[in-house]
Amino acid sequence: MPAVSSSGPLRHDWSRAEIETLLALPLPELLHRAGDAHRANFDPSEVQVSTLLSVKTGGCPEDCAYCPQAQRYHTGVEATKLMDTDAVVEKARQAKAAGASRFCMGAAWRSPKDRDIPKVADMIREVKALGLETCATLGMLSGEQATALKAAGLDYYNHNLDTAPEFYGEIIQTREFQDRLDTLGHVRDAGMKTCCGGIVGMGESRSQRAGLLQMLANLPAHPDSVPINRLVQVEGTPLHGTTELDPFEFVRTIAAARIMMPASMVRLSAGREAMSDELQALCFLAGANSIFYGEKLLTTGNPDTERDLALFERLGLKPMPVVETGAFESTKTVHADIVDTSPPCFEAA
């Protein structure tokens, strides 16, 4: 397979066999190619920092096999009402003071009711006024809801594909894979950026991981942010007890995502709490350049701020700077043909 050109157009025609060949490369060669793609688009010493707040936790009617917020599973997660705007804004202020440039608000809904949209819109306007990028993950959206959120100033919407289409039914049966694609289409049509990735380590094969990457890279526009989640096994969910994914396989997935979507932010998301500093360092070498920051990632743990700052210092990394509008700005110039069109995910983020 030829090396990816840093100057050529972004591809949306990846084949499954091509991706499987990429994933099977000797790890040093795979990391070298991913590093080239990373440097062509970003300063590799910069990491974009986001904070994710659960503004409405638990009670979700879906059956996602990994999710402790599903009301049908007994995981100890209590359902809560939607937070007040003032409380959300205070959390956003704290996140900005800790160095976050993007603030994501997640609600455990299958899809928001129309009456919920004005409340979320108020949160978006107030958080954006702090100079932060705004992101939300609220489940499936209609076209009208996406338009209303865009009008409120929402920058990004997160909606993950989760896994390959042929493995999807093993994990979720309460919504179709096409439903996810439809929501992404509504978000793009509304003019918002998308954050869209998936979860690995759910018992899928390498070919099925390749299938997830294929679906992501072959979307009409690459997701602006691509969260790669490592399954957090929560007692009470059907996936508790699943054989853990080999750490090097996780690194390979990060590297392939960077090569295939070279100008997207590739985010280390759920599962970081259980990762050693050495594994995280390998992921940064593989092209990851975004993390969620803070003590909690929705309802599962996340490395605390002090540990993250200490790791950044040891590795010579620094938070990606924020421009006046609240958007991150890399010191590298990204491909001119990039179209920003993808959302962030609440199921894992």
- Residue 161 pLDDT more than 80? yes
- 242 burial (CB, 10 Å; 0-12 / 13-18 / 19+) is middle
pLDDT category, 321, cuts 50, 70, 90?
Answer: confident
Q: What is the mean pLDDT of the chain?
A: 86
- Residue 84 pLDDT more than 70? yes
Distance from C-alpha of 245 to C-alpha of 43, rounded to nearest angstrom: 29
The reported pLDDT for the residue numbered 174 is: 93
The reported pLDDT for the residue numbered 320 is: 86
Distance from C-alpha of 83 to C-alpha of 71, rounded to nearest angstrom: 19
| Whether the Cβ atoms of residue 131 and residue 138 lie closer than 8 Å to each other | no
- Residue 319 pLDDT more than 60? yes
pLDDT average, residue stretch 140-148: 97
The reported pLDDT for the residue numbered 327 is: 42
Distance from C-alpha of 66 to C-alpha of 63, rounded to nearest angstrom: 9
Distance from C-alpha of 291 to C-alpha of 289, rounded to nearest angstrom: 7
User: Over the stretch 177-202, which tens digit does the pLDDT of each residue have?
Assistant: 999 999 999 999 999 999 999 999 99
Q: Give Cβ neighbours of residue 71 (< 8 Å, ≥ 6 apart).
A: 58, 59, 60, 61, 79
Only one residue has tokens 């990994």, namely: 66
pLDDT average, residue stretch 138-149: 96
pLDDT category, 247, cuts 50, 70, 90?
Answer: very high
The reported pLDDT for the residue numbered 322 is: 63
300: β partners:
297
Distance from C-alpha of 27 to C-alpha of 257, rounded to nearest angstrom: 14
| Whether the Cβ atoms of residue 335 and residue 263 lie closer than 8 Å to each other | yes
Q: Fill in the amino acid letter for 36.
A: D
3-state secondary structure of 192: coil
Distance from C-alpha of 2 to C-alpha of 23, rounded to nearest angstrom: 14
Any idea which residues carry the catalytic annotation? 60, 64, 67, 104, 135, 195, 267
Only one residue has tokens 């009456």, namely: 115
pLDDT average, residue stretch 311-335: 63
- Residue 340 pLDDT more than 50? no
DSSP conformational letter for 139: S
Distance from C-alpha of 282 to C-alpha of 27, rounded to nearest angstrom: 11
Q: Is the dihedral of CA 262, 274, 138, 122 positive or negative?
A: negative
The reported pLDDT for the residue numbered 63 is: 85
pLDDT average, residue stretch 114-135: 95
| Whether the Cβ atoms of residue 169 and residue 175 lie closer than 8 Å to each other | no
Distance from C-alpha of 349 to C-alpha of 337, rounded to nearest angstrom: 26
Query: Angle of helix 16-23 relative to helix 206-217, nearest 10 degrees?
Result: 120
Query: Could you count the other beta carbons within 10 Å of the beta carbon of residue 311?
Result: 17
Distance from C-alpha of 125 to C-alpha of 104, rounded to nearest angstrom: 13
Q: Is 158 left (phi over 0), alpha (psi -120 to 50) or beta?
A: beta
Q: Which of 239, 334, 338, 349 is nearest to 294 (CA)?
A: 349
pLDDT average, residue stretch 52-74: 87
- H/E element, 193: strand 193-195
Name which residue leads in pLDDT, 5 or 11.
Answer: 11
State what percent of residues in the chain have pLDDT above 70: 86
Q: Which of 266, 231, 271, 282 is nearest to 342 (CA)?
A: 266
Q: Is 343 left (phi over 0), alpha (psi -120 to 50) or beta?
A: beta
pLDDT category, 69, cuts 50, 70, 90?
Answer: confident
- Which of 40-49, 184-193, 200-209, 335-344 bottoms out in mean pLDDT, i.e. has the lowest? 335-344
The reported pLDDT for the residue numbered 159 is: 96
157: β partners:
136, 194
| Whether the Cβ atoms of residue 212 and residue 345 lie closer than 8 Å to each other | no
- Residue 223 pLDDT more than 90? yes
The reported pLDDT for the residue numbered 294 is: 55
- Which of 145-149, 277-281, 282-286, 294-298 bottoms out in mean pLDDT, i.e. has the lowest? 294-298
| Token code pair at residue 324 | 């006046």
| Token code pair at residue 197 | 């990735």
